[in-house]
Structure 1
Amino acid sequence: MKTYYFDHAASSWPKPKEVVEAMSTCVLEYAANPGRGSHQMAVKASRTMFETRKQLAKLFHIANPNDISFSLNTTDALNLAIKGFIRENDHVICTSIEHNSVRRPLEYLRRTKQIEITYVQADREGKIDPAEVQKAFKANTRLFVCSHSSNLLGTIAPIEIIAEMCRAKGVRLLVDAAQTAGTVPIDVQAIGIDMLAFPGHKGLLGPQGTGGLYVHPDIELEPLIHGGTGSQSEAIDQPSVRPDRYESGTQNTPGLAGLNEGVKFILRETVEKIHHKEWMLTQRIMEGLLGMAGVEVLGPKLGENKTGIVSFRMNGIDASETAFILDQSFQIAVRAGFHCTPLGHETAGTTETGAVRASVGYFTNEEDVDHLIYAIGEIGKHYT
């Protein structure tokens, strides 16, 4: 029985066959410890990791692949960037659509380092007014943290404009690319992104347990984790060289071998093609839902640019119940609830109800979308 998968915003599935094959080959043939030995298997593992860095650098237009440090996921990368950069009494700006992976580290630093935080208010569709951003800067502002796209609404932030403002103020820009890496074009040099946190398991089509952080060469972060790196082992302190300084312990070599193939797949297909396909699919979903009585579609309007996310709620039926019926009766996998973004729900006005989130991926097709629309229509007839 087919599963209609609409939870790509949480983790993409299925993966390209090249990803699976690369992981299997790594485990079977060279799953030694990268950077910890000079024998052939260890060297091949190290080369695979560096090849993955090179592919990511090509995708994001990063000059030096060694400015990319691998992480477990975007949350891991954001914690390193936020906690490793912000100092006591700094002022930080972010937005009212941020994920808890940004909000919680910031609020932790408010309690422990007495930092100031300004949340720039977005409108109900998740759109950010650059004029409001401009008003948020203070004399002690050191960092702007911005979700490139809302994981609830799919709204894409104007990071080019924000980056220009940050440069003018001497403020560093950290972009959370959890929903855009691999699906929306990102050029860190052209835009002026100082730090970019990204997942391997979503739009980059790699496995779970992979991700990374790009850090501008002029920025020095305080490492969160200290330990073995395979380099400068005689030193008491963490190595001074990148990426070793931020990569203590054994890395996920099979996962990174898979991620390497996922990024290669994207580069072949092109991000522009992927973004257009996902946008067309979201428009098809929205067109189907907007004609249904009792269904409210959240986020940008039909025809506007967004990522592959369509969130909605239905009158008279709980979001979790909707998701349960879709799963059990129609074999449709969606996400329901608060999506780890209470700020986003406050902004969208859905704090009391939550929302159902259907998110598409590169392997979603029109048949899948039509089945989703049909299923929601049936739920509307029988349960609302």
Structure 2
Amino acid sequence: MIYLDQAASSFPKPKEVAEAMVAAVNEYGANPGRGGHRLATQARVTIDETRELLKTLFNAPSKKHVWFYQNATGALNQALFGFPFKEGDHVVSTALEHNSVRRPLEQLRERNGLVITYAQPDEEGIISPEKIAQACTDQTKAIVLSHGSNVTGAYLELEKIGEMAEAHGIVFIVDASQTAGVIDIDMKRDRISMLACAGHKGLLGPQGTGVLIVADDYGLTPLSYGGTGSYSELIDQPSQWPDRYESGTLNTPGIAGLKAGIEYVLDNGVAQIFAHEWALTERLLKGLGAQKVDVYGPPLPRKRLGVVSFRLSGFDSHEVALILDEHYQIAVRAGLHCAPMTHETLQTTDTGLIRVSVGPFNTEREVDQLLQAVMDIQQAFTS
């Protein structure tokens, strides 16, 4: 099987990821922070070391600012539903958001009277920092956006947006699910207030892992209350970080696997990983450009993430994906990609799109096989 659905979840993982998870289950499968014996201590140390790696990767203030969740959606829920928004507060987002951002915002609009502006992309699918700035008002409390689109592969200039947000006292919340581990992100340089990401995509960890990193105290209300393994004498949730925002037993095997994935990213370098994925993406874009294929997102030579969405005229996107799977053993993603507003913007809601996404272990040969398969499908149905 040729796996070209990396934007959904990276596969394969570095072998060290599974090895670390097995060790966590078989060698120290105790409850982290719920005991002073050596196995519980080892579990806690593994989690603390993973926090430290994430602090290093994203230049966060300290490991205590790194909080673990089941996925990026859980992290974003904590950031958004936990934030002290008031009725009439204004938020700026974009028309290219995944539902993990859009749905919480729309719920806040319905529940709390939040006012939302979705900045629109230009004809090349780019949303400039100037567009974000123009959407802001005196009532803007937060800018909430995805760093990179999971449909078009376009990504934003975080540093310029962050500078503007900081200058106007606006909280800057970033969903880096598509870019963490692929594009350099520096929370201090980019003035990011809160950074959420999935562990199972560019960070090469397992599913069931997500992260929220906060730069400062924004008065967040915890979304869950309960045991933290610390300050057990308190009736209220403890105020200390990260305990305040991590009730319940953490996913130690998953976090151990995430640690191994991050170590792979750091060892190989984010810039080198992006360079590899961009080379494959450029090859894919050039190959599709030579065929009668409608490709969406930033055109060459502008760089994008390793995400390319397209459609074949007269074909249903799901049908093409099924043919690629059953006849060519190529895995891609078809449909609306949990980003319906993006498809409304692209005017592709009726058919959806075929999305090809590459990762650090894909090859030029696999891209060429996909291009040949697309050509075969078109010729078979038009001859």
Query: TM-score of the superposition, structure 1-length normalised?
Result: 0.97
> Which whole-Å deviations, capped at 9, do the CAs of 1:207-250 have from their partners, x for residues lacking one?
00001000112323111111111111111211101111111111
Which amino acid in structure 2 is aligned with residue 104 of structure 1?
Answer: R
> Which whole-Å deviations, capped at 9, do the CAs of 1:69-125 have from their partners, x for residues lacking one?
001111111111011114122211101101111110011011111111111111244
Which amino acid in structure 2 is aligned with residue 45 of structure 1?
Answer: A
2: CA distance, partners of 1:224 / 1:125:
38
> Which whole-Å deviations, capped at 9, do the CAs of 1:260-299 have from their partners, x for residues lacking one?
0100000000000000100110011111111112x11110
User: Residue 224 of structure 1 aligns with which residue?
Assistant: 223
SS at match of 1:106: helix
User: Residue 285 of structure 1 aligns with which residue?
Assistant: 284
User: Residue 341 of structure 1 aligns with which residue?
Assistant: 339
Structure 1 alignment gaps of length 5 or more? none
Q: Does 2:130 correspond to 1:131? A: yes
Moved more, 183-192 or 130-139: 130-139
> How big is the shift at 1:162?
1.0
SS at match of 2:234: coil
Structure 2 alignment gaps of length 5 or more? none
User: Residue 161 of structure 1 aligns with which residue?
Assistant: 160
Q: Does 2:16 correspond to 1:23? A: no
> How big is the shift at 1:256?
0.4
Query: TM-score of the superposition, structure 2-length normalised?
Result: 0.98
User: Residue 109 of structure 1 aligns with which residue?
Assistant: 108
2: CA distance, partners of 1:316 / 1:101:
31
Which amino acid in structure 2 is aligned with residue 355 of structure 1?
Answer: L
User: Residue 304 of structure 2 aligns with which residue?
Assistant: 306
Q: Does 2:247 correspond to 1:245? A: no
Which amino acid in structure 2 is aligned with residue 101 of structure 1?
Answer: S
SS at match of 1:242: coil
Q: Is the 8 Å Cα contact of residues 66 and 212 (structure 2) preserved in structure 1?
A: yes
Which amino acid in structure 2 is aligned with residue 150 of structure 1?
Answer: S
Describe how 1:1-384 pairs up with structure 2 within 5 A.
Answer: 3-89=1-87, 90-293=89-292, 295-384=293-382
Which amino acid in structure 2 is aligned with residue 304 of structure 1?
Answer: R
Which amino acid in structure 2 is aligned with residue 259 of structure 1?
Answer: L
> How big is the shift at 1:302?
1.8
Q: Is the 8 Å Cα contact of residues 317 and 383 (structure 1) preserved in structure 2?
A: no
Identity level (%): 52
SS at match of 1:63: coil
> How big is the shift at 1:139?
1.8
> Which whole-Å deviations, capped at 9, do the CAs of 1:303-333 have from their partners, x for residues lacking one?
2111110110000110000000000000000
> How big is the shift at 1:168?
1.3
1: CA distance, partners of 2:297 / 2:130:
20
2: CA distance, partners of 1:342 / 1:232:
44
> How big is the shift at 1:357?
0.4
SS at match of 1:30: coil
2: CA distance, partners of 1:126 / 1:147:
14
Which amino acid in structure 2 is aligned with residue 99 of structure 1?
Answer: H
How many residues get paired? 381
2: CA distance, partners of 1:112 / 1:81:
16
Q: Is the 8 Å Cα contact of residues 128 and 156 (structure 2) preserved in structure 1?
A: no
Q: Is the 8 Å Cα contact of residues 60 and 215 (structure 2) preserved in structure 1?
A: no
Which amino acid in structure 2 is aligned with residue 67 of structure 1?
Answer: H
SS at match of 2:185: coil
2: CA distance, partners of 1:42 / 1:149:
38
2: CA distance, partners of 1:206 / 1:123:
34
Which amino acid in structure 1 is aligned with residue 291 of structure 2?
Answer: M
Kindly report structure 1 stretches of 4+ aligned residues shifted beyond 3 Å: none
1: CA distance, partners of 2:145 / 2:306:
19
